Amino acid sequence: MLEDALKYPLRGEESTTTLLIGGGLAIAALIITGLGVLLSFLFIGFLALPFALVPGVLVQGYLVDVMRHRLRGDPNPPTFEDWAALFVDGLKMLLVGVVYAIPVVVGVVFFAVVAAVLAYATQVSSDAGSFLGLAFTAFVFLALLVYGALVGYVYPAAVANWIREDDVMAAFSITALKEATLNTTYLVGWLLALVVAVVGNAVGQVLLVVFFVGVFVIFYAQVVSWYCYAEAYADAMGLDREFDGDVGGDATGSDDGDHRRDDDIPPSESTARTTTDGSESGDDEESAALSDATEGVGDETEADDDTDTEDRRE
């Protein structure tokens, strides 16, 4: 899977253009954010900050399209063409992420309230309050860490299930998510995607100083990661992916049925074809013989007519 995943973003005639656009969107987001921060003292920069989210939403929509292409078996990556659809898919992807993040927000608010209560309790008994505060902080931190890891594991499967069912609510189907995420195939693919994402982001962060080269590396790593997520989900769910699009012979791995070699034809089919060919050959020979016989009878008739005509003249 890893070798195919690494080659995936480079497939297709427009692969270079796609990588440049994806990295360019990330650069645009950084520039808009930087201008917003620089102009914040004029209270104008804050108006530019929301626009910095637009390129990120488009990139998220593209990643959704990557998973959609792989779930239906398309061997080539998508391109940046339907910008409106990409934006809508990106918003849906963010919506799914926000819903899964709600328990984290609730946990943080609850932690803040309890921390305030414990802070008041320390004024009465400092030792008991400090111990309770430390224990509660450790518990909340551990709970949020476990939940965050769980969401990170389930989230790609949730997006894949939404794409498969063409319904955002399918991203929260517990039955489907259990079937996918409890499969070891999904676990292996998810871990592979995690490694690619961590390594790609680390390399990208280092290369950011080289004229934003790292941005393109990060985008490339994101595409590879979501390729792995899609493959892991498809294998775990046992999807039958047969792509019906216009793909070259190298991508599909076979030619049309009418152009198969004789070596690739099953014996039964080959025998049937030979029998058919023999029958057709026999029919052709019989037709030719009948035609010759007919022509011979015609010639004899014409000869008899000529003889009768000469006798009458005499």
Range scoring the smallest mean pLDDT among 233-242, 259-268, 276-285:
259-268
Range scoring the smallest mean pLDDT among 106-120, 154-168, 195-209, 289-303:
289-303
Asked whether the predicted pLDDT for residue 162 surpasses 90, the reply is: yes
Asked whether the predicted pLDDT for residue 290 surpasses 70, the reply is: no
Domain boundaries, the chain: 2-244, 271-313
Mean predicted confidence (pLDDT) in 227-248: 77
- pLDDT above 90 covers a percentage of the chain that reads 35
Q: Tell me what pLDDT residue 186 has.
A: 94
The residue that leads in pLDDT, 176 or 269, is 176
Most confident of 24-38, 50-64, 83-97: 83-97
Q: Is residue 126 very low, low, confident or very high in pLDDT (cuts 50, 70, 90)?
A: low
Q: Is residue 263 very low, low, confident or very high in pLDDT (cuts 50, 70, 90)?
A: very low
Q: Is residue 133 very low, low, confident or very high in pLDDT (cuts 50, 70, 90)?
A: low
Q: Is residue 124 very low, low, confident or very high in pLDDT (cuts 50, 70, 90)?
A: low
Mean predicted confidence (pLDDT) in 186-202: 93
Range scoring the smallest mean pLDDT among 16-25, 115-124, 175-184, 228-237:
115-124
Range scoring the smallest mean pLDDT among 78-82, 202-206, 258-262:
258-262
Asked whether the predicted pLDDT for residue 253 surpasses 80, the reply is: no
Asked whether the predicted pLDDT for residue 195 surpasses 70, the reply is: yes
Range scoring the smallest mean pLDDT among 25-29, 105-109, 119-123, 177-181:
119-123
Q: Is residue 74 very low, low, confident or very high in pLDDT (cuts 50, 70, 90)?
A: confident
Q: What is the DSSP string of the chain?
A: -HHHHHHGGG-STTHHHHHHHHHHHHHHHHHHHHHHHHTGGGT-HHHHGGGGHHHHHHHHHHHHHHHHHHHTT-SS---S--HHHHHHHHHHHHHHHHHHHHHHHHHHHHHHHHHHHHHHHHTT-HHHHHHHHHHHHHHHHHHHHHHHHHHHHHHHHHHHHHHHHT-GGGGG-HHHHHHHHTSHHHHHHHHHHHHHHHHHHHHHHHHTTTTTHHHHHHHHHHHHHHHHHHHHHHHHHT------S---HHHHSS--GGG--GGGS-HHHHHHHHHHHHHHHHHHHHHHHHHHHHHHHHHHHHHHHHHHHHHHH-
Mean predicted confidence (pLDDT) in 289-306: 46
Mean per-residue pLDDT of the chain? 75
Mean predicted confidence (pLDDT) in 131-158: 84
Mean predicted confidence (pLDDT) in 98-118: 81
Q: Tell me what pLDDT residue 94 has.
A: 92
